[in-house]
Amino acid sequence: MAKVRMGAQPLIYPMPVFLVGANVAGRPNFLAVAWGGIANGEPPMVSVAVRYQRYTHNGIKQNGTFSVNIPSADLVREVDYCGLVSGAGVDKVTACNFDVFYGKLGNVPLIEQCPVNLECRVVHTLDLDSHSLFVGRIEETHISEDCLTEGKPDVGKIKPLAYVTSPASQYQVLGEVIARAFSCGKGLQVRKQP
Q: Which of residues 117-136 bind a second copy (CB under 8 A)?
A: 117-118, 124, 126, 128-131, 133, 135
Q: Does 88 bind a second copy (CB under 8 A)?
A: no
In the bound state with a second copy, the residue whose beta carbon lies nearer, of 14 and 88, is 14
**Contact assessment for residue 20 and residue 68, using Cβ atoms and an 8 Å cutoff:** yes
Q: Cα separation of 28 and 178, whole Å?
A: 39
For 13, 14, 164, 165, 171, the CA distances from 168, given in Å and listed in that order, are: 11, 12, 6, 6, 9
In the bound state with a second copy, the residue whose beta carbon lies nearer, of 61 and 131, is 131
- 21-29, 53-61, 184-192 -> range binding a second copy (CB under 8 A): 184-192
Q: Which of 23, 47, 56, 67 binds a second copy (CB under 8 A)?
A: 47
For 21, 115, 167, the CA distances from 148, given in Å and listed in that order, are: 23, 10, 35
In the bound state with a second copy, the residue whose beta carbon lies nearer, of 36 and 59, is 36
Q: Between residue 56 and residue 85, which ones bind a second copy under the rule CB under 8 A?
A: 68, 70, 73, 76-85
Q: Which of 20, 22, 31, 39 binds a second copy (CB under 8 A)?
A: 39
Q: Does 26 bind a second copy (CB under 8 A)?
A: no
Q: Does 164 bind a second copy (CB under 8 A)?
A: yes
Q: Cα separation of 23 and 44, whole Å?
A: 23
Q: Does 25 bind a second copy (CB under 8 A)?
A: no
Element housing 69 (H / E): strand 65-70
What is the three-class DSSP state of 185?
helix
Q: Does 6 bind a second copy (CB under 8 A)?
A: yes
Counting every residue written for the chain, the total comes to: 194
